[in-house]
Amino acid sequence: MISLTDLGIIRDVAWQDDTLIVTVTPTYSGCPATSIINLDIETALRGHGIEKIELKRQLSPAWTTDWLTEGGKRKLEAFGIAPPQPAGGPDHCPHCGSKSIEKISQFGSTPCKATWRCKDCLEPFDYFKCI
Amino acid sequence: MSTAVTSGDDALFEFLCRMGDSTLVLGHRVSEWCGHAPVLEEDIALANTALDLIGQTQLWLGLAGEVEGKGRDADKLAFLRDGWDFRSALLTEVPNGDFGRTLMRQFLFDAWHSIYLGRLLKSSDKRVADIAEKASKEVSYHLERSADTVVALGDGTEESHARMADALAYLWPYVGELFAGDAVDAAMVEAGVAPDPASLREEYDALVGRILEEATLALPEGRFAHKGGRDGRMHTEHLGHILTQMQWLQRAYPGCTW
């Protein structure tokens, strides 16, 4: 699955004396995953033997889908989520590749996604919104 | 510390509560639709909009608590203040009514919100500008959706058009408060933190007028405005009911978490 660095939300990692400062930016201000993400970061770092960790929230510059890595976009598509496009809508159906698609709702299962549908294979799919 | 600085912080605290309380109360109102919207996609859209607004509330009230310096965080401010300490705009407090009225209220608020946040991007207070930068991205998306829906329903069937016209007539008297400045606003203008609300009216009327025209609805001419929410002088009778529902858990079980 997609990693936090793929998502582009880890803005900085730096040592301050013996404390590791990880700077994280939220995708959406109300994203319910934020606390889980922070917990995951701490757990992962502790698993690597790092004991003193400080998580810093940085709002500006605000997160943009431009920070998604190419690898991250590929992983999204492989998972059935159409990656963000500069044009503002998905390029094609992530299931069958058809370009014949339509928007169902500007929002999807999470704030970062919108709901679309393929008119060929008739499958609905999530589109990762471009912000 | 001089008195001037102290009163400046007091005004900043008030300003931040106005921002945070309006997003909090509207977020709560919109969340009331969860599980009740006409179709699943709209239900999801409303819940996501509410989530964004509550997220923004955490940022605004979090900063308010920091500025106040009395150890109150966003949760304490949201759940442990009484109605008279709230600074929510009256527009955010009015009941949802039908789906059309909810979306009309959202549109009237989003239009103001997007213009206001646009100005806050240039705030002299970097903390305010940072929150505005984050929130404005979400709000431009809210506006796109609420404007589209207002057009679709206004220029829809005879029934939907009539309901949207009713919604506009009901809500319009609550719009003026968003542009009525007072001493707090003047202090924020002076400090370069926030714009004079009155200076945004023209841009607002142009934006709202353009969408309403597309929706085959007329921009109301009346300028009568219910006031008293932003300054806490006189809220609607609805706020107390919202708070009893929103706050009862923290009131009944103080400090409860899960």
Task: Report the residue from B41, B135, B138 with minimal CB separation from A115.
Answer: B41
Alpha-carbon gap, residue B115 to B112, rounded angstroms: 5
Q: What is the pLDDT averaged over residues B209-236? A: 96
Instruction: Return the domain boundaries, chain A.
Output: 4-57, 65-128
Q: Is the pLDDT of residue B5 over 70?
A: no
CATH number of domain containing B45: 1.20.1260.10
Task: Report the residue from B49, B138, B148 with minimal CB separation from A29.
Answer: B138
Q: What is the pLDDT of residue A130?
A: 85
Inside any domain, residue B258: no
Inside any domain, residue B239: yes
Residues of A in contact with B126 (CB under 8 A): 60
Q: What is the pLDDT of residue B49?
A: 96
Which H/E stretch holds residue A22? strand A19-24
Under 8 Å between Cβ of B200 and B118: no
Structural domain boundaries enclosing B233: 3-252
Q: Is the pLDDT of residue B4 over 60?
A: no
Q: What is the pLDDT of residue B3?
A: 37
Asked if A131 lies within 8 A of B137 by C-beta distance, the reply is yes
Q: Which residues of chain A from 63 to 122 reach within 8 Å of chain B, CB to CB?
A: 63, 104-111, 115
Q: What's the alpha-carbon Rg for chain A, to the nearest Å?
A: 17
Which amino acid, B5?
Answer: V
Asked if B42 lies within 8 A of A30 by C-beta distance, the reply is no
Q: How far is A30 from chain B (nearest CA, A)?
A: 4
Task: Report the residue from B41, B58, B135 with minimal CB separation from A104.
Answer: B41
Q: Is the pLDDT of residue A3 over 70?
A: yes
Q: Which residue carries 């240039």 as its tokens?
A: B122
Alpha-carbon gap, residue B239 to B100, rounded angstroms: 21
Asked if B145 lies within 8 A of A104 by C-beta distance, the reply is no
Q: What is the pLDDT of residue A110?
A: 83
Q: What is the pLDDT of residue B2?
A: 37
What are residue A128's DSSP bridge partners?
A113
Instruction: Report the percent of chain A where pLDDT is more than 70.
Output: 100
Domain count, chain B: 1
Inside any domain, residue B141: yes
pLDDT digits (tens, 9 = 90+) for B6-53: 467 999 999 999 999 999 999 999 999 999 998 888 999 999 999 999
b/e code B23-58 from CB counts within 10 Å (16+ = b): bbbbbbbbbebeeebeeebbbbbbbbbbbbbbbbbb
pLDDT digits (tens, 9 = 90+) for B139-172: 999 999 999 999 999 999 999 999 999 999 999 9
pLDDT digits (tens, 9 = 90+) for A15-56: 999 999 999 999 898 888 888 999 999 999 999 999 999 999
Q: What is the pLDDT of residue A35?
A: 87
Task: Report the residue from B42, B55, B145 with minimal CB separation from A30.
Answer: B55
